[in-house]
């Protein structure tokens, strides 16, 4: 296991700089929370890491080496925000998960592996044959998580994975995320606008504003004794906090 | 209550100026590029014709010397680029060359035919918009949420059938019914106002069928929109809710989708003019195509193309007036 | 497939079968009859022998129309193939040629699409020459740009979807993405479009032949037959119209099929309006105490859908006192919004709203009178999505001023001035300039304020806010909530605040109504949310992490899902998910009982610990 390092990552769309020299480190086996308000560039960071958005500057390194952009082996996987659009509506749950496998497997091995993954995310393995249209939002998000885990990644990037879910479902997904992370020793970049959610799952926190990281450090420090003005504003705005 | 009486009527919305200027510049730019593409295509058309266009036009029996002379007078023996530049220059000065067959200047032919075509197209445009919008709205309101099933079915059926019948065939049917049988309107030609009725209906009917169907769908969508709930929450009168809040948005959406259709009316005149022996450019175009009179075809196609582009620009300006968002950004 | 076989689809397929039959067999069956020259009987009208009459050479027109089916269809099919092939090639060019070159191709396509197909056809027909080949090429190519654009739009939208991004991050190869994800998801609309186009292609050929530019003698297709006989409209109308009829029927066949398939994609939700007998609660059941600002008794909302009756609100009773802030919380689909809409009289016509009593500010909203002015000035609404709740076509100021003009009989200028003043009251900076702007020029937080300002055009006694801050960032949420508080203070308005977020409700409200499956299951002071009696409330509160949550323990979860509004369980609707559920819960519905504290709860085992309950269950058995 090796750290995922973002070194001075910059992303520009046309003339506007969306991500501005962001440097972050996701320590092995740890969860780094990335918080910030809408439009601050959180999702772009996530997409830049997995190669969905080209970098304008800087590097993304895993264990000191750039990430592979070709071939089936992808050590960094991503889970998306909207559970309703992140699964192909015409592909069964099992097929979607199997797409993530890093190596070719025999049909039998595939089936057992899919069943194992579904079981891991607490879904009935019999669900492998259903289409996503039959699943609830929370169940879809579990499938998306299983697909990400199928490639046996070292790092999982989770972009606002609970913001489209009901609170009761959010709790179940958050529990699952923590369980996965602990049991599999995954490293994780957990992006959310919800400070309480990030506090619950992340060991470290980075706060982003207008494309820049304004503060980062261990969760209990950043979220209790914030040093940056913006972090303080965010914390004060959390409902129930010092109002 | 403060007494700042700054109603928009008092002070014109000058801040909009910047956006409108930018919109005008962008839209004009697009129009010019399209006209240039059109002109280039029209120029290349003559050169894309397989074989020698002059020989084709004058026929296999024409003496070689005549063909040569004609080629020279058309400038076809000069280098391509030179021809192109003088063609563009001619366009700017209104010189479109002259017919191979009759020697009459193309611009002269266009000048005589254009009014007929233009009045037909404009009348059909106005009729199409004036009928399809109220019709679509009315049907939408009547058939909302699966009410009045039968009305919906009848409307959908009629509009599909009417949209499928080609305008020239509709023209023939209209002539048979209203000119031959009932003798309400003249069979052909352009004379008094009554002579317009059948050709304009034939041309506009298809557009009405399709536009009113789009209008209905858009109106239904708008009626479900969140801002309509806001309007109802303000407890406005139902009439005001429909006319002030729903209509502009539905019309905007309809024009966005159906705008191209209105440009199509211009081209549709070719067929309808042929049915009604209407004195316009359509008949001339077909005759010159059959007679391979390429300079004439070129000129008329150019005119039609420009008319289409103008209609589309008009639609875009209408859209911009209805929906301020469309002045910013551009697809 | 079953959904394709609507009357429309069946008609389409039947017509198509007929046409295909004719295309295959007509030439061998009627071929002779169609070509037999019989000059003496030339140009006859319709008769029992010659249904459509005869042409200038005495050939039977009806037979010719039938035989022409093959050529007409062939030409249209070839042109459609050209159109689809070239369109696909152009439309997918950006995928193969890279961004820049592909962009040039698409720009060219955009310009071409602007020209009507007929004009392009005439243009190309000039180049390719008069005749069937030229016509096929011209019509096929003229249609290509619009098909290319459709392809491009569809491909682009699928390409931009998250599931493609997910496949790419998973390392799925490019060809596999194309074949497994993209093509299956674009194929259906493309096939539909090609089918409908086939119909229009037939018509285009007819048009071209009609002008004499298409099929040439001695070949004949429908258009050519039309052109040949059109001049006979005065004498033998059937001869002139017959071939045209064939074209229209064929065009309709393709149109119907395309339409039927396209309709089957979108599931159409047909709602029928049921006739519900008016139901009134006996007067004795009505509460007689002090006048509340808002009183709701036994409120129900029913929808009749094709899948049965859906009951999103099932007998809700509550009241709001003047100046009080009452929250409604619950999971998605619990009926919060529907309750609010029903109270405000905004449930759309498909829903049947019924209540024992519904009174607001002393007026009985069920008496059938016109309460527009009262509701328009005393009841303010704020909705969840600030982006869609304003009319995009009108200026913000005009949308506010409208209220004053309608209900307060203000003149144009006075209403406008008041709108500006109200915008200022909700602290929109530069209110005069802002009033003249359109909604799209406002940010989300500003729109919610403008919405509040709209409510403040009158003098609201009650503000109903349905998730007013859910779509906003926390910092903006804080400002909007503060503004709500101010309005309550200054206007003395009561608040009905709907949210799925318990922590926000706790901060804003005095009292909380907890809804589950269309019912109120608990009604308690906001300060007592942590000591709630109902197991659902408990779970809801515990499921939300807050800044003091113990990070070492898993969050409380509510297993399973809420029942659908169309189901009606015998006992407690929460029973399947409830840790305290007993036998009784499964058979008998708990009623909302008033506790000594004044709070209300609907549960057979309120506040009991699980162990106690298990024992009880044991004993009972
Ligand atoms: N037009 C309709 N026809 C049938 N059922 C409907 C209709 N509109 C809403 N419903 C149903 O009413 C139920 C309650 O919806 P409502 O919007 O009140 O829930 P909610 O508690 O506000 O949820 P959310 O938190 O998602 O906003 C839902 O199950 C919904 O499907
Ligand atoms: S009534 Fe029974 S099932 Fe319903 S909430 Fe109470 S304990 Fe649970
Ligand atoms: Mg709601």
pLDDT, residue B130, reads 93
> Does ligand 1 come within 6 angstroms of the Cβ of C335?
yes
pLDDT, residue B104, reads 83
Q: Which residue is it, tokens 């689909």?
A: C333
Q: How many other CB atoms are there within 10 angstroms of residue C391's CB atom?
A: 25
Task: For C273-287, write each residue's pLDDT tens digit.
Answer: 333 333 333 333 333
Q: Is the pLDDT of residue C510 over 90?
A: yes
Mean pLDDT, rounded, for B273-297: 88
Residues 6+ apart with CB under 8 A from A48: A9, A11, A19, A54, A55, A60
Over chain C, what is the mean pLDDT? Answer: 84
Higher pLDDT, B145 or B329: B145
Q: Is the pLDDT of residue C267 over 60?
A: no
User: Taken in order B189, B194, B196, B197, is the CA torsion positive or negative?
Assistant: negative
> Does ligand 2 come within 6 angstroms of the Cβ of C514?
no
pLDDT band at A232 (very low <50, low <70, confident <90, very high): very high
Planar angle of CA B62, B68, B71, nearest 5 degrees? 105
pLDDT, residue B154, reads 86
Q: Domain range holding A93?
A: 88-152
Mean pLDDT, rounded, for C540-547: 89
Least confident of A70-74, A174-178, C83-87, C216-220: A70-74
Least confident of A190-194, B281-285, C116-120: C116-120
Residue A13 is assigned to a structural domain of this protein? no
pLDDT band at C327 (very low <50, low <70, confident <90, very high): very high
For residue A151, give the nearest of A82, A112, A109, A97 by alpha carbon: A97
Mean pLDDT is highest, among A205-209, C96-100, C361-365, for A205-209
DSSP track, C215-268: S-TTS--HHHHHHHHGGGGGT-HHHHHHHHHHHHHHHHHHHHHHHHHHHHHSPP
Percentage of chain C beyond pLDDT 70 is 93
Q: Is the pLDDT of residue A198 over 90?
A: yes
Cα(C564)–Cα(C571) distance, integer angstroms:
15
pLDDT, residue C281, reads 35
Residue A130 is assigned to a structural domain of this protein? yes
Q: Among C310, C327, C349, C568, which is best to mutate for testing ligand 1, by the most ligand atoms less than 8 A from CB? A: C310
C267 touches chain A (CB under 8 A): no
In CATH terms, the superfamily for domain B110-330 is MetI-like (1.10.3720.10)
pLDDT band at B9 (very low <50, low <70, confident <90, very high): very low
pLDDT band at C81 (very low <50, low <70, confident <90, very high): very high
Q: Does B touch A (3+ CB pairs < 8 Å)?
A: no
The two three-digit tokens of residue C388, written as one number: 């869609």
Task: For B200-235, write each residue's pLDDT tens digit.
Answer: 999 999 899 989 989 998 999 898 888 999 999 999
Cα(C166)–Cα(C185) distance, integer angstroms:
16
Nearest-ligand number for the alpha carbon of C466: 3
Q: Is the pLDDT of residue A72 over 60?
A: yes
pLDDT band at A133 (very low <50, low <70, confident <90, very high): confident
pLDDT, residue C3, reads 67
pLDDT band at C291 (very low <50, low <70, confident <90, very high): low
C46 touches chain A (CB under 8 A): no
pLDDT band at A241 (very low <50, low <70, confident <90, very high): low
**ipTM associated with this complex:** 0.87
pLDDT, residue A123, reads 86
Between chains, do B305 and C125 touch, taking CB under 8 Å as contact?
no
Smallest CA–CA distance from C182 into chain A, residue = A88
Residue A200 is assigned to a structural domain of this protein? no
Q: What is the pTM of this model?
A: 0.82
> Does ligand 1 come within 6 angstroms of the Cβ of C350?
yes
Q: Is the pLDDT of residue B331 over 60?
A: no
Number of domains in chain A: 1
Q: Is the pLDDT of residue C266 over 50?
A: no
Residue A132 is assigned to a structural domain of this protein? yes
Task: For B78-99, write each residue's pLDDT tens digit.
Answer: 888 888 888 888 888 888 888 8
> Does ligand 1 come within 6 angstroms of the Cβ of C516?
no
pLDDT band at C619 (very low <50, low <70, confident <90, very high): very low
* C contacts of B15 (beta carbons < 8 Å): 433, 436
Task: For B50-76, write each residue's pLDDT tens digit.
Answer: 777 777 777 777 788 888 887 777 777
Q: Please give the DSSP secondary-structure letter assigned to residue C330.
A: -
pLDDT, residue C115, reads 85
Residue A145 is assigned to a structural domain of this protein? yes
pLDDT, residue B17, reads 57
Q: Shortest CB distance from B176 goes to which of C114, C233, C270?
A: C233
Q: Among C582, C592, C616, which is best to mutate for testing ligand 2, by the most ligand atoms less than 8 A from CB? A: C582
Percentage of chain A beyond pLDDT 70 is 98
Smallest CA–CA distance from C551 into chain A, residue = A200
User: Taken in order C70, C73, C76, C81, is the CA torsion positive or negative?
Assistant: negative
Chains touching A (at least 3 CB pairs under 8 A) are: C
Half-sphere exposure of C451 (CA within 13 A, CB side): 35
């Amino acid at each position: 296991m090796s750290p995922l390092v973002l070194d001075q990552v910059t992303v520009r769309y046309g003339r506007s700089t969306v991500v501005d020299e962001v440097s972050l480190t996701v320590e092995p086996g740890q969860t780094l929370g990335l918080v910030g308000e809408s439009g601050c560039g959180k999702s772009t960071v996530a997409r830049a890491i997995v190669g969905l958005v080209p970098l304008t500057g800087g590097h993304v390194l895993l264990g000191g080496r750039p990430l592979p952009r070709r071939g089936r082996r992808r050590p960094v996987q991503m889970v998306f925000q909207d559970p309703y659009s992140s699964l192909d509506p015409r592909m069964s749950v099992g097929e979607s998960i199997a797409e993530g496998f890093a190596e070719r497997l025999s049909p039998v091995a595939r089936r057992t592996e899919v069943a194992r993954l579904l079981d891991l995310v607490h879904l009935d393995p019999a669900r492998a044959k259903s289409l996503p249209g039959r699943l609830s939002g929370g169940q879809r998000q579990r499938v998306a998580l299983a697909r990400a885990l199928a490639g046996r990644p070292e790092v999982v990037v989770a972009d606002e994975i609970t913001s489209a879910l009901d609170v009761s479902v959010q709790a179940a997904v958050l529990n699952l995320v923590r369980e996965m992370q602990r049991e599999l020793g995954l490293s994780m970049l957990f992006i959310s606008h919800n400070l309480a959610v990030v506090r619950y799952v992340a060991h470290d926190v980075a706060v982003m504003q207008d494309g820049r990281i304004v503060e980062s450090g261990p969760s209990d420090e950043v979220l209790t004794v914030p040093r940056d003005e913006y972090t303080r504003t965010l914390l004060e705005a959390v409902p129930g906090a010092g109002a | 209550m403060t007494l700042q009486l700054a109603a928009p009527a008092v002070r014109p919305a000058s801040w909009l100026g910047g956006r409108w200027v930018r919109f005008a510049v962008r839209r004009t730019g697009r129009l010019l590029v399209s006209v240039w593409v059109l002109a280039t295509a029209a120029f290349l058309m003559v050169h894309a014709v397989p074989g020698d266009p002059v020989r084709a036009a004058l026929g296999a029996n024409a003496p070689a010397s005549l063909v040569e002379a004609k080629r020279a007078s058309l400038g076809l023996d000069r280098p391509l680029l030179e021809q192109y530049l003088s063609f563009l220059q001619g366009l700017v000065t209104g010189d479109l060359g002259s017919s191979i067959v009759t020697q009459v200047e193309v611009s002269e032919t266009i000048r005589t035919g254009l009014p007929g075509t233009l009045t037909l197209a404009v009348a059909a445009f106005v009729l199409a918009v004036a009928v399809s919008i109220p019709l679509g709205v009315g049907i939408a309101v009547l058939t909302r949420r699966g009410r009045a099933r039968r009305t919906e079915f009848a409307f959908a059926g009629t509009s599909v059938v009417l949209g499928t019948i080609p305008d020239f065939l509709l023209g023939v049917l209209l002539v048979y019914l209203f000119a031959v049988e009932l003798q309400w309107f003249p069979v052909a030609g352009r004379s008094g106002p009554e002579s317009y009725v059948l050709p304009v209906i034939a041309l506009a009917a298809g557009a009405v069928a399709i536009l009113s169907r789009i209008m209905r769908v858009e109106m239904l969508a708008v009626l479900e929109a969140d801002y309509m709930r806001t309007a109802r929450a303000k407890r406005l009168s139902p009439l005001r809710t429909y006319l002030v809040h729903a209509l502009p948005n539905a019309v905007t959406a309809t024009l966005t989708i159906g705008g191209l259709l209105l440009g199509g009316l211009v081209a549709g005149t070719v067929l309808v003019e042929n049915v009604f022996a209407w004195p316009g450019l359509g008949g001339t175009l077909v005759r010159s195509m059959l007679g391979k009179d390429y300079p004439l075809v070129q000129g008329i196609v150019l005119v039609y193309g420009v008319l289409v582009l103008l209609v589309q620009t008009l639609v875009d300006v209408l859209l911009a007036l209805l929906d301020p968002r469309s002045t910013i950004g551009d697809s | 497939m079953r959904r394709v076989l609507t009357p429309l689809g069946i008609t389409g397929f039947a017509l198509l079968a007929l046409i295909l039959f004719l295309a295959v067999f007509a030439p061998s069956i009627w071929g002779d009859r169609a070509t037999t020259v019989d000059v003496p009987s030339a140009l006859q009208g319709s008769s029992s022998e010659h249904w459509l009459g005869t042409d200038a050479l005495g050939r039977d027109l009806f037979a010719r129309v039938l035989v022409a089916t093959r050529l007409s269809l062939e030409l249209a099919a070839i042109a459609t193939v050209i159109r689809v092939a070239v369109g696909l090639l152009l439309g997918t060019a950006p995928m193969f040629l890279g961004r820049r070159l592909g962009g040039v191709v698409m720009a060219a396509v955009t310009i071409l699409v602007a020209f009507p197909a007929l004009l392009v056809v005439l243009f190309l027909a000039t180049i390719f020459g008069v005749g069937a080949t030229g016509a096929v090429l011209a019509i096929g190519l003229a249609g290509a740009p619009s098909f290319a654009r459709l392809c491009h739009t569809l491909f682009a939208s699928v390409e931009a979807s998250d599931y493609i991004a997910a496949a790419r991050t998973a390392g799925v190869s490019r060809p596999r993405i194309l074949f497994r994800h993209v093509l299956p998801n674009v194929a259906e609309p493309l096939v539909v479009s090609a089918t409908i186009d086939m119909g229009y292609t037939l018509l285009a050929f007819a048009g071209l032949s009609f002008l004499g530019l298409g099929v040439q003698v001695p070949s004949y297709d429908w258009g050519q037959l039309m052109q040949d006989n059109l001049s006979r409209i005065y004498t033998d109308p059937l001869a002139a119209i017959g071939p045209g009829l064939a074209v229209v029927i064929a065009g309709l066949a393709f149109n119907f099929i395309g339409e039927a398939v396209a309709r089957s994609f979108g599931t159409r939700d047909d709602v029928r309006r049921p006739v519900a007998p008016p139901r009134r609660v006996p007067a004795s059941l009505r509460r007689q105490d002090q006048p509340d600002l808002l009183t709701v008794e036994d409120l129900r909302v029913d929808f009749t859908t094709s899948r049965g009756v859906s009951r999103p609100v099932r007998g809700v009773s509550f009241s709001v006192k003047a100046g009080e802030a009452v929250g409604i919380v619950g999971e998605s689909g619990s009926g919060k919004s529907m309750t609010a809409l029903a109270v405000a009289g905004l449930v759309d016509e498909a829903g049947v709203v019924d209540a024992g009593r519904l009174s607001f500010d002393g007026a009985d909203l069920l008496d059938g009178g016109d309460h527009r002015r009262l509701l328009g000035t005393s009841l303010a609404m704020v909705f969840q999505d600030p982006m869609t709740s304003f009319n995009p076509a009108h200026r913000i100021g005009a949308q506010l001023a409208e209220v004053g003009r309608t209900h307060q009989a203000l003149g144009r200028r006075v209403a406008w001035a008041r709108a500006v003043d109200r915008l200022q009251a909700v602290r929109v900076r530069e209110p005069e300039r802002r009033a003249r702007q359109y909604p799209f020029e406002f940010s989300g937080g500003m729109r919610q304020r403008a919405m509040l300002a709209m409510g403040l055009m009158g003098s609201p006694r009650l503000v109903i806010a349905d998730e007013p801050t859910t779509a906003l960032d926390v910092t903006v949420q804080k400002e909007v909530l503060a503004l709500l508080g101010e309005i309550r203070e200054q206007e003395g308005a009561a608040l009905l605040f709907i949210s799925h977020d318990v922590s926000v409700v706790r901060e804003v409200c005095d009292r909380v109504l907890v809804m589950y499956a269309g019912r109120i299951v608990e009604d308690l002071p906001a300060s007592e949310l942590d000591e709630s009696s109902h197991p659902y409330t408990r779970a809801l509160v515990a499921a939300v992490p807050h800044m003091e949550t113990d990070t070492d323990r898993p969050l409380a979860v509510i297993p399973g899902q809420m029942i659908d509004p169309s189901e009606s369980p015998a006992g407690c609707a929460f029973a399947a998910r409830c840790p305290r559920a007993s036998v009784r819960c499964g058979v008998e519905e708990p009623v909302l009982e008033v506790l000594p504290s004044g709070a209300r709860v609907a549960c057979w085992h309120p506040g009991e610990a699980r162990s106690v309950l298990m024992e009880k269950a044991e004993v009972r058995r």
